Amino acid sequence: MWNQQRKSRLLHFAIGVFSLSLSYCATQSQPFASAIQVDLASVNWIHGAESCESLVDDSDYQEWQKIQYLPQSFIFRQNKCSHYEGPFVYLFLGKEKGLLVDSGATISGGLKLVELIRDITDLPILLAHTHGHSDHRLGDDAFRNQQGMSVIGVGSSAVQNYFGFSNWPHEPTAIDLGGREIEMLPIPGHSDDDLAFYDAQSRMVVTGDTLYPGRLYVSDWLEYRKSIIRLADWLSQKSVLFLMGTHIEMSATPNLDYPIGTTYQPNEHRLPLSLADVYILREKMEALESPERVPLGSFIVWPN
């Protein structure tokens, strides 16, 4: 009996040690623990000012707002007094390099963004884009002139060639930052080179101008419909907390957007959307065979 009890205790002890070992290994395999986390749905983003001229002239003018969501995950928003688009930019850091998604809407803003990033890390930085429109890449030149920073070209051919997409736009690919993989799915329709970026560590997907709280400008209706269906199918297989776009154009009032060119948005819609929003958009796009402007609460489908 004693031997049986002793064997049982030893077995339980061994199981406990093994479980702890697994826990430790899992922790070690995820070196970027979630020590820092903020409620992205309640962040009060910089949103311009009633008098931008006086604000920009101030010595303490804030060009970029930085939010550190996780220790190696950062979100930046450019001040709407610098450019009415007020784009958002994303930085994901691995052990070997970082991925910056977009560079902002102004040349001077790019210079300041470089400074902010170099205050965070000295890792090599790869600059990619949600798509090639100018309000997402005018800061590129500042990065081209910096050691340890590389800029990927825009346009579907440049994007396909760099990342090695084998079946554009139907299949995703991925880039390894060193212990952190970012997956990318082509979602053309707003432009010809739209990408969605999925990060399993933050459970965040960056959807660019394809889906965000604003006017979803559609240049190619058929391609956009296909992309939204593909995006919904892709994300249904993943763990997603937030869909992160690159603008806010909606107010907190459903279906009410700010006029184009607005530089002061004190009652903005929250930035993050959810998987439910993808499915709402998919259902609507599947039902619409021809271009139509449709308000859907947190965003408006807006054919060009």
Q: Model's pTM, two decimal places?
A: 0.88
The pLDDT of residue 114:
98
Is 30 a residue whose pLDDT tops 70? no
pLDDT, tens only, 138-170: 999 999 989 999 999 999 999 999 999 999 999
Distance CA 160, CA 220 (A): 19
What fold does the segment set 36-303 form as a domain?
Metallo-beta-lactamase; Chain A (3.60.15)
pLDDT for residue 18: 36
DSSP notation for the chain: -HHHHHHHHHHHHHHHHHHHHHHHHHHHH--S-------GGG-----B-S-HHHHHTSTT--SEEEEEEETTEEEEEE-TTT-TT--EEEEEE-SS-EEEE---S-HHHHHHHHHHHHHH--S-EEEE-S---GGGTTTHHHHHTSTTEEE---SHHHHHHHHT-SSTTTS-EEEE-SS-EEEEEE-TTSSSS-EEEEETTTTEEEEETTSSSSEEEES-HHHHHHHHHHHHHHHTTS--SEEEES---BBSSTT-BPPTT--B-TTBPPS-B-HHHHHHHHHHHHH-SS---EE-SS-EEEE-
> Which residue type does 258 have?
Y
**pLDDT class of 34 with cuts at 50, 70, 90:** low
What was the pLDDT predicted at 87?
98
Name the pLDDT band for 58 (thresholds 50, 70, 90). confident
